Chain A
Amino acid sequence: MAKAQSAALDRKKLMGDPIMVTTIVVLIAFLTLFILYPLAILLVDSFVGDGGFSFSVFERIFKMSNFTRAITNTLKVGFVVGILSSLLGLLFAYVEVYLRMNRCVGGLFKVVSMLPVVSPPFVLSLSMIMLFGKAGLITRFLLGIYDNNVYGYWGIVVVQTLTFFPVCYMMLKGLLKNIDPSLEEAARDMGASRWKVFADVTLPLLLPGIGNAFLVTFIESIADFANPMIIGGSYDTLATTIYLQITGAYDKAGAAAMAVVLLIITLGMFAVQKYYLERKTAATLTGKASRARMLIEDKSVKIPLTIFCAVGAAFVIMMYICVPIGALFPTWGYKFTPLTFKWFEQVFTRYRGLQAFRDSFVLSLIAAPITALLSMIISYLVVKRKFRGKGFIEAVSMLAMAVPGTVLGVGYIRGFANGLFHTGVLSGIYGTGLILIIVFIVRSLPTGTRSGISALRQIDKSIEESAYDMGADSLKVFTSVTLPLIKDSFLSGLVTAFVRSITAISAIILLVTPSYLLITVQINEFAEKGAFSIACAFATILIIITYGSVLLMNFIIKHFGTSRKVKEVE
C-alpha cells in the first residue's frame, strides 16, 4: 500500500495555488528567521562563545554565584507566585460563579480582570513603592513606619501575584462555569455538606485546571522582566541577571548561555502545561453545564467570601489608581498639595514625551495589523488546510509563547547585530525600527494565533469547502468567507497586539537604540532613578492610550462586528 499518488496529487494541487504556496513559504521563512534562528544562535553562541566547541561558557556562568542565586531566586518567586495567584484566582472565580453578588462587587471583578491587560507590566511595582516604600503613602503617612523596605523577594511576590492572578481568575472562571451543576447537586443530595461537595467534587474536577493556571503563572513570573527590575532591588532574577550581563558586563556569550538556561526552564514548564495538563483539563470538563446553577445563599459562606474578594479587588484597583494620582502630586512623599499638572507638562517639555509616544505609537500601530493578519492566516492554515510544513508552522508559533522576552532580546542581539551567523548578512536591520516592529509581532503572535485558532474551530469546515468547491481560490476563500466570519476575533487580535506592543519592554529594552524613544523604556528608566512622579505621568498617558483603544475596539465590534448581523436575529 503506498500513499505516494495522493501525496503527489496533493502537492500538485498545492502548486496550482501560487498564493497559498507563497504564503506558506513566506510564513515558514519568517518563523524560522525570527523565532527559530535567534534561539538557535543562542545555543551556538553558548557552546562556541569562548572559542571552539565546549561547555566552558556554561562552566563559567555556573561558577558565578550571582547566576546560580538568580536561578534559585527565579524558581522560588515563580513557585510562590504561581501558588498564590492560582489560589487567589480560584477564590475570585468561585465567588463569581457560585455566589449571588451584588452589581458593585461584580463591577469590581470586571475591572480587576481588565486592568492587567491594559496597563504596562510594571505599573504595580511603581505603586507598590509609592504606597508601601520608605516614603510610602500608607507606610509612612498612615502607619508612621519610616524604614519599610519593599524591595526584594516579597516586593516581587506581591506585585507579580497581583499582576497575574486575574489571568488565573479568568481561566478558572471558564472552567467552573463548565462544571455541570447536577454533579454537585447529586453529592449534596446524598448528604454531603457544602464544604464536602467542594472538596470531593468541585476541587478534583478543577484540579488539572488549577495546575494549568499555576504553570501559566509560573512561566509568566519567570519571564517577567520589568517588575523584578524596578522592585527587585538587589534580589536578581534570571531575566534581570541576563539583562545586566549584557548591558553591564558586556558578556554576550555568558548572557546567551544564561538565556539558554532560562529558555530550557520555561520550555519544560510549557511542555508539561501544553501536553499534559491542557489535555487533562479538557478530559475532565467536557460539555456545557446543563442548566443554571443554584447559587449559594448561605450567609455564613457568602458574606465573608464576598467581603474578602471585594476588599481584595478594591485594593488592586487602588494600586492602579495610585499611578495617575501620583502623577498629580507636586513631590511624592513630601508635598501633596496643591495638585499639579507640572509632571505631565514636563513629560512633553523636558523629557521628549512627544517623541516617545510618537515612536511607541507608530511602531505598535504598524506591528498590530501585521500581527493580527499573520495570526489569522496561521490559524486558517493550521485549522483548515493540510499541507507539509503545517506541523512546523503550528509548533513554532506555539513555541514563541514559551520564549521569555529577555531570551528573545538576547537572541536578536546575537543573531542580528553582526548579521546572520555573525557574517554581516542582514545586519542592516539591527538597530532600526524594523527590528523593533518584528519583535512586537513575534511577541504578540502566539496570543493572536491561539485566539484565532479557537475562533476558527467554531466554524464548520464545510463552509470554506463549499466556497472552494464553488470556484474560489485560497485567497478568495480567506477574504470572502474566513475573515468575515472571524472579524471579531481579528479586531480583538488587532487591539491586543497593539496593546501588547505599546506596553512591551522585556525584549525591546535590549534592542532599542537611541534613535528610538519608547515609552515603556522611559518609564523603566525614570522608575529606576527614583523619579516616580514623572514615571507615573508617562504611565498614566500610556494607560489612557491603551484603555482608549480597548474601548474603541469594543465599540467597533459592537456596531460593525460580523456576529451582530448573525446574532441579532436569533
Chain B
Amino acid sequence: MSDMRKKEPKGVRLDHISKIYQNPKTGQDFYAVHDVELDIEPGSFVTLLGPSGCGKTTTLRMIAGFESPDEGEIYLGGEPINQLTPNKRDTAMVFQSYALFPHYNVFDNVAYGLRLRKVPKDEIRERVTNILKLVELSDMEQRMTNQLSGGQQQRVALARALVVEPGVLLFDEPLSNLDAKLRVQMRTEIRRIQQALGITAIYVTHDQSEAMAISDNIILMKGGVIAQMGSPTEIYYHPNSEFVADFIGECNFLKCTVKGHEGGDAVAEVDGRPVRVRCDKPGITGNAEIVLRPEAIGIADEGQLPCKVELSCFMGSYQNYHVRVGDTLVKIADNCPIGKKTFQVGDDAYISFRSECAHLLET
C-alpha cells in the first residue's frame, strides 16, 4: 500500500521553542511551552503526552502554524517554517472534534484539500476512493457527515488529512470523543495506516496507554517543558522522575539507602533489609527511591521484605493487594491468581522483586 504515497515523509525539528501566554486573571506572562528541543525522524510516530496544561497542544498548534512561537525556530523537512501561515505548511491535522465540514458529504470533505491544490478531477476521484478504501469507508461516499457514527467521522477526518499526503500528520487528541472500546480499535487502526504509508506523525494525548500503544517515541511534558523522552519501554521502566513514573502507569516508591554497587546492580537497604536494584549510574549513593511497578512485585510466605496485607481484591486477570512495607503503602498486581495462595486482609507476608524490574531514582 505504500506505493499510494508519492511523497517522502518529512522530519520535524523544534529548535528551543518557547511560547508565552498571559494569565487572564493575574495578567502575568508565563511560559506555556519553554525551551522545547525535539528532533523527529521522518516516518516515525511521536506522541506528546502529558496532563492538561502541559503545553502539548500548544506545541502541536505551533507546528501547524496556528500559534507563533516566542522563541526558537521550527523546521519541517529541514526548512524553517516560522513565517509560514498554516495553509502554506506541509502539515495536515486531525482535530479532537473531527472538524468535518457539515455542509459537505464524505467525498467532498475528503476531496477538499485536493481541490484546493487544483488536482485534476480524475485524480481526485482516484485518490479519494483509494483513501476511503484504506479507512474502510468505501460505501459511505455520499453520506452527510452527521449521518456517521463517531468512529466513522474520525475515519473521515483521518482520510481528509491523509489524502493530501502531508509531510507530517498532526493529531490533536483525536480519540477523546470516542467510547473506550472504539478508542482501542481506532488507535490500532491509526498505527496500522501510519505504518502502511510510512508517514511522519505527531500525536497529542493525555492518555498514557494510548501513547504506549501507538508510539515509536513518547515525549512526556509537564508545565511547558519536556520531562522525559524515549521509547515506551524506556519511559515505563526507566522513568527519570517521580512524575514520569507516576504518570506512566501505576507505581510504587520505596525509600532506601544505597550502600554500594556490584555487577550492574545497586545494593541497597530498605528498613535495614538488603535488596538489589538494576542501576547503570554507579554515582548514586545514600538515600534514594526504588521505583516498582505493581505487576513486578511478587507476594509469598517468604521473600525480601516483610509486609502486612491491608487490601485484597479479586480483579479477574489479577489479584489486587495493598500491603504495608514499613511505613509505605505498596500496590501489587499479582497476575493470573488462580492456583496461587490468596492472602487475606491482616495476613503477614513477604514481597520480592527481581533486580532488573526495579529502577533507582536519586532523591
Contacts and interface: CB of A to CB of B under 8 A. Distances in A.
Interface of A: 1-7, 9-10, 12-13, 16-17, 460, 462-463, 465-473, 476, 480-481, 484-485, 562, 565-566, 569-570
- A-B interface, 3 closest residue pairs, ranked by CB to CB distance from nearest: A9-B68, A470-B113, A462-B99
Nearest to B85: A13
A13 B93 contact: no
Contacts of A465: 66, 86, 93, 95, 99
Nearest to B93: A469
Nearest to B61: A465
A220 B71 CA distance: 51
6 contacts: A5-B69, A5-B70, A13-B65, A469-B64, A470-B164, A485-B102
Contact of A468 (B86, B101, B144, B164): B86
Question: Could you say which of A1, A5, A466, A566 has the most chain B C-beta atoms within 10 Å of its C-beta?
Answer: A466
B103 A470 contact: no
A120 B116 CA distance: 46
Interface residues of B, number: 42
Interface of B: 19-20, 29-31, 64-71, 82-89, 91-93, 95-97, 99-103, 112-113, 116-117, 144, 146-147, 157, 160, 164
A470 B92 contact: yes
B67 A472 contact: no
Contacts of B69: 5-6, 9
Contacts of B103: 484-485, 562, 565-566
Contacts of B113: 470-471
Contacts of B70: 1-6
A7 B102 CA distance: 33
Given A6-B19, A462-B97, A569 B65 contact: no
Contact of B116 (A3, A463, A472): A472
B164 A3 contact: no
A481 B101 contact: yes
B102 A468 contact: no
A466 B65 CA distance: 12
B99 A463 contact: yes
A12 B116 contact: no
A423 to B, nearest CB: 41
B68 A10 contact: yes
A469 B97 contact: no
B68 A471 contact: no
Contacts of B19: 6
A470 B87 contact: yes
A5 B97 contact: no
A5 B144 contact: no
B85 A17 contact: yes
Nearest to A562: B103
B20 A476 contact: no
Nearest to A477: B87
A465 B170 CA distance: 13
A570 B116 CA distance: 30
Contact of A462 (B71, B96, B112, B160): B96
Contacts of B82: 9
B181 to A, nearest CB: 25
Contacts of B146: 566, 569-570
B93 to A, nearest CB: 5
A569 B148 CA distance: 11
Given A2-B70, A476-B116, A566-B146, A468 B99 contact: no
Given A13-B68, A460-B97, A566-B102, A470 B88 contact: no
A469 B92 CA distance: 6
A566 B103 CA distance: 7
B6 to A, nearest CB: 17
A246 B84 CA distance: 55
Contacts of A480: 112
Contacts of A485: 102-103
Question: Could you say which of A4, A7, A465 has the most chain B C-beta atoms within 10 Å of its C-beta?
Answer: A465
Contacts of B97: 460, 462
Contacts of B31: 1
Contacts of A3: 20, 29, 70
A6 B68 contact: yes
Given A1-B31, A471-B116, A6 B95 contact: no
Given A16-B84, A480-B112, A481-B101, 7 more contacts: A3-B70, A5-B70, A9-B69, A463-B102, A465-B86, A466-B95, A565-B103
Contacts of B92: 469-470
A17 B69 CA distance: 19
A462 B95 contact: yes
B160 A470 contact: yes
A470 B83 contact: no
B102 A473 contact: no
A10 B147 CA distance: 38
A16 B88 CA distance: 10
A391 to B, nearest CB: 15
Contacts of B100: 463
Contact of B91 (A4, A462, A469, A476): A469
A462 B164 CA distance: 18
A12 to B, nearest CB: 5
A564 B100 CA distance: 17
A402 to B, nearest CB: 27
Contacts of A484: 103
A3 B68 CA distance: 10
B143 to A, nearest CB: 9
Contact of A16 (B30, B85, B101): B85
A472 B117 CA distance: 9
B91 to A, nearest CB: 7
Given A462-B97, A470-B112, A1 B20 contact: yes
Contacts of B86: 465, 468-469
Contacts of A10: 68
Given A6-B19, A465-B86, A460 B160 contact: no
